[in-house]
Amino acid sequence: MTDLNVFFRIIVSGDVQAFAEFVDAVAIGSGLRISVCA
């Protein structure tokens, strides 16, 4: 699954900003609005 590959790559790189944007993009794509507090 490509999304999971991106997800793990972000975790390994420790890019919190990219992770937050990824989660937000997934939430929007799923029709959900999730507030990510970092």
Per-residue confidence in pLDDT tens, the chain, 38 aa: 577 777 777 778 777 887 788 778 887 777 665 555 44
The pLDDT, as a whole number, for residue 24 is 80
Question: What's the pLDDT score for residue 34?
Answer: 55
- pTM, two decimals, is 0.42
Question: Strand, coil or helix: what is 21?
Answer: helix
Q: What is the structure's pLDDT at 29?
A: 75
Q: How far is CA 23 from CA 2, 11, 13, 17, 18, in A?
A: 14, 12, 16, 10, 9
- pLDDT (0 to 100) of residue 1: 54
Per DSSP, the three-state class of 2 is helix
